[in-house]
């Protein structure tokens, strides 16, 4: 038997298996190529469902508010909509650029009157409701670099704000997280000189020799000193309703 070719040994093994099966064995329909849809994911969901929920009596399908009659979906949706509804505002600003230059102007924005701001205080992450009119100062303290593309001339990096300090009227200061001030990426400011488009980020090309196209110095991972034309500080002098 040991000298039999591998194909013959396999054929012989299959034959022995067939002989061992009972005569009334049920064979799959090989002509029908359709197979039952896998239900592993739905099965796992049912298995992971807490027992105290599965043993409860089913709720009345006609009453969607049975679980919490005091907090209906309609009321909850209306409250969220009211809070997140954007309005037109005109913010009077004093801006400081990367090299210390300053300019005054007005910034028209569409934003809710109050919003929830994720921030860190003493190493603990919080969510605080902030009124737009309560913001006194926004200062960008750090920019993080990310690789945009690799070119023959070098590697192109984009530096965006990664540490933003917000001072509220009354002296409360917090470190904002996420994209709460995403509009600061690029925004227009108007004054007696006209309109100017300002930015809080910049692009720079790191050459093969390690130097930067802008002439700046520093690592590609993180920077404390921004490009000279980038906005570093925004001081809110006043916030008043604007024109829609």
Question: How many Cβ atoms are within 10 Å of 36's Cβ, its own excluded?
Answer: 5
Identify the sign of the CA torsion 127, 130, 134, 136. positive
Confidence band, pLDDT 50/70/90 cuts, at residue 21: very low
| pLDDT tens sequence across 71-114 | 555 554 444 444 468 899 999 999 999 999 999 999 999 888 99
3-state secondary structure of 113: coil
Name residue, tokens 């917090």. 174
pLDDT at 32 over 90: no
Res. 172: pLDDT tops 60? yes
pLDDT tens figures, 229-242: 999 999 999 999 98
Tell me the pairing of strands 114-121 and 154-168: unpaired
Q: Where are the domains of the chain?
A: 81-241
What is the structure's pLDDT at 86? Answer: 86
C-alpha span between 125 and 118 (Å, rounded): 7
Contact 106, 93 (CB under 8 A): yes
Which run of H or of E encompasses 241? Answer: strand 231-241
């Amino acid at each position: 038997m040991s000298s039999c070719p591998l194909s013959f040994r396999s054929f012989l093994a299959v034959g022995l298996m067939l002989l061992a099966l009972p005569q009334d064995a049920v064979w799959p329909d090989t002509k029908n190529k359709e197979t039952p849809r896998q239900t592993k994911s739905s099965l796992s969901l049912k298995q992971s469902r807490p027992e105290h929920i599965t043993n409860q009596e089913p709720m009345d399908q006609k009453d969607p508010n049975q679980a919490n009659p005091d907090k209906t979906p309609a009321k909850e949706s209306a409250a969220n909509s009211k809070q997140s509804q954007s309005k037109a505002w005109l913010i009077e600003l004093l801006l400081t650029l990367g090299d210390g230059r300053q300019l005054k102007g007005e910034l028209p924005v569409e934003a809710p009157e109050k919003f929830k701001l994720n921030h860190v205080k003493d190493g603990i992450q919080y969510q605080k409701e902030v009124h737009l009119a309560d913001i006194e100062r926004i200062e960008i303290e750090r920019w993080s670099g990310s690789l945009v593309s690799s070119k023959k001339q070098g590697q192109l990096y984009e530096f965006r704000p990664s540490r933003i300090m917000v001072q509220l009227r009354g002296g409360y200061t917090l470190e904002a997280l996420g994209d709460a001030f995403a509009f600061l990426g690029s925004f227009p400011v108007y004054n007696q000189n006209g309109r100017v488009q300002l930015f809080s980020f910049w692009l720079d090309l790191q050459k093969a020799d390690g130097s930067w196209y802008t002439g700046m110095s520093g690592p590609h991972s993180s920077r404390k000193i921004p490009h000279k034309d980038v906005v570093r500080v925004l001081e809110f002098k006043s916030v008043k309703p604007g024109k829609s």
